[in-house]
Amino acid sequence: VKGLRIVGVLGATFLIATAAVAQPVVDSVVFEQGQELYQNHCALCHQDAGTGNPPTFPSLSGNDHLEDPAQIVRTIRQGAGTMPPFPDLSTAEISAVATYIRNAWANSFGAITTAEATAALDVDGFEAEGDSASVWDGVFTETQAERGRAAYPGACALCHGRRLNGAPDDPDMAATPSLARARFLRTWDGKSLATLFEYTRATMPQDNPGSLTDEEYVDVIAYMLSVGGMPAGEVDLQPDPEDLARVVIEPQP
- Longest Cα–Cα distance in the chain: 56
Least distance from C-beta 177 to other proteins, angstroms?
9
User: How far, in Å, CA of 191 to CA of 231, rounded?
Assistant: 19
Which is closer to other proteins, CB of 119 or CB of 150? 150
Least distance from C-beta 11 to other proteins, angstroms?
5
Which is closer to other proteins, CB of 119 or CB of 202? 202
Question: Vertex 158, ends 211 and 152: CA angle to 5°?
Answer: 60
Q: CA separation (Å) from 150 to 86, 200, 224?
A: 31, 17, 12
Which is closer to other proteins, CB of 111 or CB of 135? 135
Least distance from C-beta 156 to other proteins, angstroms?
10
Q: Which residues bind other proteins (CB under 8 A)?
A: 1-8, 10-12, 14-15, 153-155, 157-159, 161-163, 165-176, 178, 181-183, 205-208, 211
Least distance from C-beta 163 to other proteins, angstroms?
7
Which is closer to other proteins, CB of 130 or CB of 154? 154
SS3 80: strand
User: How far, in Å, CA of 22 to CA of 39, rounded?
Assistant: 17
SS3 53: strand
Residue 88 φ/ψ, nearest 5 degrees: -85, -5
User: How far, in Å, CA of 148 to CA of 99, rounded?
Assistant: 39
Specify burial of residue 203 (Cβ count, 10 A radius: 0-12, 13-18, 19+).
middle
Which is closer to other proteins, CB of 25 or CB of 182? 182
Least distance from C-beta 160 to other proteins, angstroms?
9
Which is closer to other proteins, CB of 70 or CB of 167? 167
Least distance from C-beta 170 to other proteins, angstroms?
4
User: How far, in Å, CA of 233 to CA of 247, rounded?
Assistant: 14
